[in-house]
Amino acid sequence: MSTQPLSQPDRIIIFDTTLRDGEQSPGATLNVDEKLTIARQLARLGVDVIEAGFAVSSPGDFEAVHKIAQTVGTESGPVICSLARAIRRDIQAAAEALKPAAHARIHTFISTSDIHLEYQLRKSRSEVLAIAEDMVAYAKTFMPDIEFSPMDAVRSDPEFLYQVLERTIAAGATTINIPDTVGYTTPSEFGELIRGIRENVPNINNAVLSVHGHNDLGLAVANFLEAVKNGVRQLECTINGIGERAGNAALEELVMALHVRRQYFNSFLGRPVDSEAPLTKIDTRQIYKTSRLVSNLTGMLIQPNKAIVGSNAFAHESGIHQDGVLKHKLTYEIMDAQSIGISDNQIVLGKHSGRNAFRTRLKELGFELSEQDLNKAFLRFKELADKKKEISDWDLEAIIKDETQSQVVDGFCLERVQVSCGDHACPTATVTLRTPSGEELTDAAIGTGPVDAVYRAINRVVDVPNQLIEFSVQSITAGIDAIGEVTIRLQYGERIFSGHAANTDIIVASAQAYTNALNRLYSVLQQQPTMPQMANAPDYDESESSVAAIGSLQ
């Protein structure tokens, strides 16, 4: 295990926390295989650091960090990171999970704001200072690359913050991350805080300066760009900006802002103003594909007017705009859709296309499937080709992810669904599901509409209490034969579980999406009796008795 030199003052380091903070989005829970799929794509995207999870929080998170470290954390791959509170057992778990990685990092944190110290930690400043210093030094005994975050830094007393940072750098921290935990700050305030740190922490140049921020006021990306101007060289962000509450700073927005406006930012990184060299290592052509993958696997839809990756991001409705773009794209477009991986040439396969052509196109799209998954996906492709004359890349992407990445192992399987409905008929649905034990069960129900009837029928078979809180359908491509994508979210207690499916029949897709969500919920319920204490349990000292539970980690 080693670390690679990341401290490059003329380049921005991209630290992706989609698999850690992003997964804290309500309903965005991912299984180990889904996390591994995203991690592989993040490596193709070119991120410098993948925060793979919070190893101590659950056996599933530990396994995910370990597998990502083993599979993606190669010598030429990104740094693999695990979050750990400033507690020995957290740090031990992170170090153990990260062992297979060629380049690994432990990211430890503790709160420094007075409001957190008084009401959450119930510790004095001197106690927190000692814990931070000791735990960074302890983490350093496992590996050389250590990141430290003073949680709620923007609401901390600057003088105390300077003291904590100086001591943790002296103890061995190689990256210092300044989190805007509650999304409270503004660009000018954030810039001033970063300047204060650089001017008042004597050994700050011995560490890479980083920022992490939430989007509660819609200012996260603006705050980060201001931080870059003031000397920050690592940005902690997520795909599509997912994360706690209103989410995190969006990776795609930050990267493309630095790409499109690199002449503006060049001088802040000590480069010639007219330099065309990229400011990050990100392969921007992988952005759209990564965005779609994360959206599909988390079940979190992307709003049409979302910057960079929204469906309307490169669309023009106004006649004046359309006229200008037709004459010259730069009149109303500041970037090319192809620069983020959106291709104009979508139609590639049809019903007569063979297995080799199918496999080759999937590789071109970035899908590396096992032989078993390829067989399943090819059968789905042939079924779709019998229904549609032309198969687009978006269609391929939808069926691949639906067939190989959205299923829960050993869960309920939808075998058949049939509905009867009309404007003068009572919507009725009959469903057959195969249980985890292999038994086939059939039941029927009526509802206010065909989807409601299907869900009521499924609930009669699957006895898992839940509340449906969101149902959405969107078309993959234009046309009456388009694939429909269905995303649903179920609530059980305080937890939310999402399901996703794609099919030319939206009733079938609705049934599959609902079954997928129920499987996620069922899987969690099956694990509950043996689940260890979660990582938001009270501790911060060895007696584990002095600190209130932690909710939002950074």
pLDDT tens digits, one per residue of 405-422: 555 556 899 999 999 999
pLDDT band at 347 (very low <50, low <70, confident <90, very high): very low
pLDDT band at 458 (very low <50, low <70, confident <90, very high): very high
pLDDT at 536 over 70: no
pLDDT > 70: percent of the chain: 85
pLDDT at 368 over 80: no
**For domain 13-298, is the CATH number 3.90.1170.50?**
no
CA distance 200 to 193: 10
Q: What is the mean pLDDT of residues 382-405?
A: 73
Superfamily of domain 413-530: Alpha-isopropylmalate synthase LeuA, regulatory domain (3.30.160.270)
Residue 289's nearest CA partner among 40, 14, 29, 545 is: 40
Query: What pLDDT was estimated at residue 410?
Result: 67
Report DSSP letters for 214-263, one per residue.
B-TTS-HHHHHHHHHHTT--EEEEBGGG--STT-B-BHHHHHHHHHHTHH
pLDDT at 108 over 90: yes
Query: What pLDDT was estimated at residue 528?
Result: 62
Is the distance from CB of 517 to CB of 489 less than 8 angstroms?
A: yes
Residue 86's nearest CA partner among 145, 128, 23 is: 128
pLDDT band at 153 (very low <50, low <70, confident <90, very high): very high
Query: What pLDDT was estimated at residue 387?
Result: 76
Q: What is the mean pLDDT of residues 333-360?
A: 73
Q: What is the mean pLDDT of residues 24-31?
A: 78
Q: ∠ CA(41), CA(61), CA(254), 5° rounding?
A: 40
Half-sphere exposure of 314 (CA within 13 A, CB side): 17
Look at 73-77, 169-173, 298-302, 534-538 and tell me which has the smallest mean pLDDT.
534-538
Q: Tell me the average pLDDT of the chain.
A: 86
pLDDT band at 33 (very low <50, low <70, confident <90, very high): confident
CA distance 436 to 410: 5
CA distance 340 to 283: 8
499-509 residue pLDDT tens: 888 888 899 99
One-letter amino acid for residue 436 of the chain? P
3-class secondary-structure state, position 413: strand
pLDDT band at 430 (very low <50, low <70, confident <90, very high): very high
Q: What is the mean pLDDT of residues 292-321?
A: 77
Q: What is the mean pLDDT of residues 141-156?
A: 97
Is the distance from CB of 502 to CB of 402 less than 8 angstroms?
A: yes
Phi and psi angles of residue 545, each rounded to the nearest 5 degrees, phi first: -140, 5
Q: What is the mean pLDDT of residues 357-379?
A: 78
Look at 14-23, 141-150, 459-468 and tell me which has the smallest mean pLDDT.
459-468
Q: What is the mean pLDDT of residues 182-188?
A: 97
CA distance 255 to 291: 13
Q: What is the mean pLDDT of residues 171-195?
A: 97
pLDDT at 322 over 70: no
Q: What is the mean pLDDT of residues 121-148?
A: 96
Instruction: Give the Å distances, CA to CA, from 109 to 149, 189, 249, 347.
Output: 5, 22, 19, 49
Is the distance from CB of 65 to CB of 94 less than 8 angstroms?
A: yes
3-state SS string for 56-82: HHCHHHHHHHHHHHHHCCCCCCCEEEE
pLDDT > 90: percent of the chain: 58
Query: What pLDDT was estimated at residue 344?
Result: 56
Q: What is the mean pLDDT of residues 422-427?
A: 90
Query: What pLDDT was estimated at residue 364?
Result: 67
Which is higher by pLDDT, 417 or 531? 417
Query: What pLDDT was estimated at residue 530?
Result: 41
Query: What pLDDT was estimated at residue 43?
Result: 97
Q: What is the DSSP letter of 276?
A: -
300-311 residue pLDDT tens: 888 889 999 987
Measured between its terminal Cα atoms, the distance across the chain in Å is: 27
Q: Sheet of 428-434: strands edge to edge?
A: 413-420, 428-434, 440-446
CA distance 148 to 105: 10
The residues with which 236 forms a beta bridge, in sequence order, are 15, 212
Query: What pLDDT was estimated at residue 379?
Result: 84
pLDDT band at 427 (very low <50, low <70, confident <90, very high): very high
pLDDT band at 403 (very low <50, low <70, confident <90, very high): low
Look at 115-124, 272-281, 298-307 and tell me which has the smallest mean pLDDT.
298-307
Which is higher by pLDDT, 220 or 530? 220
Query: What pLDDT was estimated at residue 193?
Result: 98
pLDDT at 537 over 50: no
Query: What pLDDT was estimated at residue 502?
Result: 86
Q: What is the mean pLDDT of residues 160-186?
A: 97
CA distance 530 to 365: 40
